Structure formats: C-alpha cells, structure tokens
Chains A and B, each alone.
Chain A
Amino acid sequence: MKILNKLSFKFKLISIILIVNIVISSLTMMLLHNKIKKTIIQKIGLRTNTIVNIISTSAKIEDIYLLFSNDKKQITQYLERYSKEILNEPEIEYVAFYGKNEEALSLVGSLPDKKFNFESDDINNLNNSTYNVSKDIFSEEGNIIGHIMVGFSIQNIDSALKENANISFKLLIFSFLIISLIIYVVLTYFLKPLQLLYQASTNVVNKNFDCYVPVSSNDEIGKISEQFNIMVKELKSFYSGLEKKVKAATSELHVSNKELQEQTIKLMKINLQLKEMDEKKSEFVSVVAHDLRTPLTSILGFAETIMKTELKLTEEQKSKYLIIIQQESRRLGRLISDFLDLSKIEEGRIHLKFKKVNFNELVERTVETFRINNNKNINFVIETDSNIAEINLDPDRISQVLQNILSNAMKYSPSNSAINILLKQYYNFVKISVSDFGMGIPNEEKEKVFQKFYRIDNDISRKERGSGLGLTISKAIIELHCGRIWVEDNIPNGSVFIFTLPIRNFDEYKI
C-alpha cells in the first residue's frame, strides 16, 4: 500500500486503464478465438461432407461397384487407383471403400488404428487431428451398395488458428503501447495545471505568495486553479498583515525591553549612587565626630588640668592653657560652622545675600586680616586692574572663599615667602588668582582637592588642620555665583588657586 501511495497519480491512472484494458481484451480475444475456431470447423465439416458426397455419388464409383460386382480384385484395383487420385489433395489423409456387407475393398493412405463404426465424427467434438467422414454409396435404384470413409487432417487449421492468435496477441501488445502513450500524453496535458498547482502550493508553503496559476480551461481543474489563485491572494494579504502586526509587536516588545533595560541600568546607577552617598554619609559622620573630638579633648583636658590644684600650675601655665582652650573652642566653632555650611549646601538650603560690592575693597579687607595674623612673615602682594567693576555678590561668602584659599596658601607656604593676589577684569567676568610658593599640587590631585575631607598631605600637623571642607564649600559658593574655581601650577613651584565671578545685573539671587 505504501509503495502504491508513493506512485504518481498519472502512473496509477495509466496502470489501472492498462489492467482493465488487458483483462477486457484478453477475454474478448479468447471468446473471438473460440468463435472463429467453431465457425471454421463447421465450414470445414460442411465442405468435407460435400466432398465425400460428391465422391460417393459420382457415377464412376457406382459403375465400378456395379460393373465388377463379381470380381472383387478388379473393384479393388479400380478403387485404389481412384483413391490415389483423391489422395493428391493435401488435406485428405486416407480414403477407404467398403462393400455392401462392410467388407474392406480399398484402403489407401494412413488409416487410423481404431475400428470404424461407419458413422461420421461430430465436427464439434473432435478428439484427434483427423476428421473422419463416412457415407453410404447408393445404386441408381437407391440400394446401398457400399460405404466410403475419408479422413481429413485438421492439423493445419489448428496451426493456422494458433498463428492467428499469435498475431492478435502481438497486435494487442502493440495497441497497449499505443494506448499507454496516448493516455500518457493526454494525461500529461490534462494534469499540467495540477503540476502547476503543486508548484504554486510549494511556493506558498515556502511563504512565497507571488505565484499565479494560469487558468487554461473551464473544467474542474481550471476552477480549482481559479480558487487557488484567489486563496493565495487572500493568504498573501492575511500573512502580510500578520507579519506587520508581528513586526510591530516585536518592535514594541523590543522597545519596551530596551526601556526596561535602560530603567534597570538607571535604577542600578541610582542604587549605586545611593549606596555611595550612604557610605559617604556614614564616613562623613565618623570624620565629623572624630574631628570634633580632637579639640574637645584639648578643651576638656586643659580645663580639668587647670582645675587640679595638686598640680600647682603657675599663672603663666594657666593662661597658656586658657589660650589653648580659647583657640580650640574657636576651632570647634569653625568646624561646626563648616559642617553646617556643607550640610546646607548639600541640601540646597544655602541662601546668598547679593549686594553690589566693590570687589577690590572686599579683597583688600580680607587680605588685611591675614596680614595682621601672620606668624610666618609672609608677604601678601595684591595686584589689581585699576577699574574693577562693582559686582553683584554675597560679600560674606566670597570673603569666606578667599579666606579658605588664603589660609590654605599660608599653611603650605614656607616662612618669609610671598603670596600673590592678582585681580583682573575681562569682558563679562572678573578673575582672581592666589599664588603661593608651597609644595604645589600634583596634576592627578588637582580635581580632588575640592572633594570633602581631602588633605593634600598627612605631614601637615594637626594644629594647622582645618575641617577639610574649606575648598568644597568654596567651590559650592563660587558655583552658586555662576563662577568657576580651579587650581593650576605656580611656576617655578607652588600652586595657583583661581576663581571667576560673572559681572551681571541681578538684584536678588536665591537658591
């Protein structure tokens, strides 16, 4: 069954037609053959009977029988001569004459073995290849005077019939071939649309909808082709619609996926920042606590020391310790205000009080306080443009920035060196730079000095340490003024802190 299923439709059709053809043809041939055989044999029967009749009724035979009725030898002689003449006919096998009393008179030719019953064989029921015909010989008066037997060979007829059948069979085979060929050609022609349909549907399966099956006829196949074309068209529009939808959905998905990723990255960043902030905060708290503890230790310790009467401190020592208490208290105050400033800045709660200020004067006054409190004998040199404009700024905060920069510069300056302060006016801003001759700041640290608690070197002893927040606060203040602050190298050594302030007319600026 499986093999049968694999065969093509065309092959199956041809096979079925051929098989049916063969069966019908064979049956027909067999029937025909028998019919022909019968007809021929009957014709032969008629003919042979006629021949024997002619012989038996011929005057010559009668004469022989009657003339020599007494001389049997003579009769036999004549009959044998006559029989030999008859035997010249190829189909006659033998001729036998018998007398009135069924005695043999002349037996010529190859006689059969069996005994004669003086009756003709049934032509339709022949057992062997010889057909025996028997006739009585009558006198003129109508009396039976003898018998005649003639054997006809029907072997030739048989072979002729066989040959005939053979030729018929060959013809049949030939006709089969012709029929097969015709069927093949016709089927190929009729099945061509089916083949095209097959190819087209293969294309459709491969999602190639640009196929059209030509409709060449108006029969069932033509109708199917037409329907197929319509179906493919529908499929095409449906599929492209589907594809579009899928594409749209996919791209949407893609977009949302991307968005999700971005969101995740953002969240991760925020989380990281929060973590960092948290770490920084706890670090800040611990640093603040530590920095506050140090002056507090001195204050409490010296207060306790002064109060201890058993130490027997001199007045000089006591006043020295009181000065330390005072200094450390001040330092504590500064630290606290720095911490407060920083937390205000970080929370965005700092309020600047803008005023129109003579910048030159502001710088001059700030530097003056450092000149007075100058234990390193540092020479402060101010260089300024002659006409610096009045600037809108918060004078306390800008002075604080300048103080931070100057105290740093002083901290790192060697004794008896100079600190140069340079003021310059540009088109829409002023620039102030403070140069010292200290150890300078390496390039990789230049950004970091503005970070919280950054200290350039641990070698600076703690008595000179500030909060580590001065520059951080300064940077925030300058940026709130829309200015910029940075540090450069001083040549040949030391560093230059520079900041700019824009010259603008804004009356009240609040953040």
Chain B
Amino acid sequence: MENEKSRILVVDDDPKIVELLRVNLEAGNYTVDVAYDGESALEKVWNQGYNRPDLIILDLILPKLDGYKVAKKIKEKKEISNIPIIMLTGKDKPLDKIEGLISSEADYYLTKPIDISDLMIYVIKALSKKNNIK
C-alpha cells in the first residue's frame, strides 16, 4: 500500500482490552496509540498535531473524564471533529446508547463483548467514511 498507515487511538482503562485491540489492529496494518484515561486521550488527540489519530476506539467508563465527555469535546472542536469515534462499552442500556450516539455524536456504538472480526469491519467502515469526507 502506498498510503501511509491509518492511526488508531485505543482508549480503555483495562490494559488487557488495550492489549487485545492493539495486537489485532497492528495485525490489520494500523498504527495504534493507546490511552488509559479520558484526559490523556484528549491530550493525545489535541496535542499530537500531525500524528493525530484517524479513528478513536473509546470506552465509556474511564478515570478522570468519561467517554461521553471525551467524545463531546472532540466533536466540539472543529479541527478534530471529523475524527470518527467508535464507542466500545459494556453499557448496553438503550439510554446509554442514545446518549453516546446523539448527545456525544459518536459514530458507532458497540457493546462488549464483541467479535474482533466484527470490530475490524467497523474500523474499516469508519475510516473509509472519514476518507470520503476528506
């Protein structure tokens, strides 16, 4: 592929989940960044300039700043609002989903546990959506 690798930020406070996603995403030829809490996730998106992620996989229950707020803040800033967000969470109540998709404007809302192959399909979908907008 002549295209440079897409960069994906994985945000989850459980290192095992982070490891799981990292291994699989790297195998899918993506560059993976990780963050273990909401604040550092925001920092990584905002401060990394040219290394900004092309996609964020975001857990909802996070230390310091929860996933809803992280998503909201990202979607509020014009420069980074086009980064697609996949929410990956154990919260499966309809209200949580509505809040994630509508209030926080996340692009996808997936509930744990999830098939890794299913997740990969969503990653490709989200990335192609972003590229189309470009």
On A, residues with C-beta under 8 Å from B are 286, 289-294, 296-302, 304-305, 308, 310-311, 313, 317, 324, 328, 458-463
Contact = CB atoms under 8 A, between A and B. Distances in A.
Interface in B56-95: 61-64, 89-93
| Centre residue among B62, B91, B116 by max chain A CB count within 10 A | B116
Contact of B112 (A297, A311, A313, A328): A297
A304 B116 contact: yes
Interface stretch (B3-11, B15-23, B97-105, B124-132): B15-23
B93 to A, nearest CB: 6
B113 A293 contact: yes
B36 interface: yes
Given A301-B113, A308-B27, A294 B17 contact: yes
B contact face: mostly helix, strand, loop, or mixed: loop
B20 A305 contact: yes
A184 to B, nearest CB: 98
Interface in B1-60: 13-17, 19-21, 23-24, 27, 36-37
B63 A458 contact: yes
B27 A289 contact: no
B64 A301 contact: no
B90 A291 contact: yes
Interface of B: 13-17, 19-21, 23-24, 27, 36-37, 61-64, 89-93, 111-117
A299 to B, nearest CB: 8
Nearest to B65: A458
B90 A294 contact: yes
A311 B23 contact: yes
A280 to B, nearest CB: 15
A290 B64 contact: no
Contacts of B20: 297-298, 301-302, 305
Given A290-B90, A293-B90, A461 B13 contact: yes
A290 B96 CA distance: 12
Contact of B16 (A298, A459, A460): A298
Given A296-B112, A305-B20, A286 B15 contact: no
B61 A305 contact: no
A291 B90 CA distance: 7
Contacts of B112: 293-294, 296-297
Nearest to B62: A458
Among A301, A311, A324, A328, find the residue whose CB has the most chain B CB atoms closer than 10 A: A301
Contacts of A290: 61, 89-92
A276 B30 CA distance: 47
A454 to B, nearest CB: 15
In order of increasing CB-CB distance, the 5 nearest A-B pairs are A293-B90, A290-B90, A297-B113, A297-B112, A462-B14
22 contacts: A289-B90, A292-B90, A293-B111, A294-B14, A294-B90, A296-B113, A297-B90, A298-B20, A301-B114, A301-B116, A302-B16, A304-B117, A308-B116, A310-B27, A311-B23, A324-B19, A328-B16, A458-B63, A458-B64, A459-B63, A461-B63, A462-B14
Contact of B116 (A286, A305, A317): A305
A304 B115 contact: yes
A293 B92 CA distance: 10
B19 to A, nearest CB: 8
A85 to B, nearest CB: 155
A461 B19 CA distance: 14
A302 B15 CA distance: 13
* Residue in B16, B112, B117 whose Cβ sees the most chain A Cβ within 10 Å: B16
Contacts of B24: 301, 305, 308, 311
A63 to B, nearest CB: 167
A13 B74 CA distance: 109
A297 B27 contact: no
With most chain A CB atoms within 10 A of its CB, the pick from B17, B21, B117 is: B17
B115 A459 contact: no
A462 B13 contact: yes
A286 B16 contact: no
A298 B17 contact: yes
B131 to A, nearest CB: 24
Most chain B Cβ neighbours within 10 Å, of A304, A317, A459 = A304
A462 B36 CA distance: 10
Contacts of A299: 113
A93 B126 CA distance: 164
A445 to B, nearest CB: 17
A463 B14 contact: yes
A317 B49 CA distance: 33
Given A298-B17, A458-B62, A458-B64, 17 more contacts: A289-B92, A290-B92, A293-B90, A298-B14, A298-B16, A301-B20, A301-B116, A302-B16, A305-B20, A305-B24, A308-B27, A317-B23, A328-B16, A459-B37, A463-B14, A463-B15, A463-B16
Contacts of B27: 308, 310-311
A462 B59 CA distance: 12
A338 to B, nearest CB: 17
Nearest to B115: A304
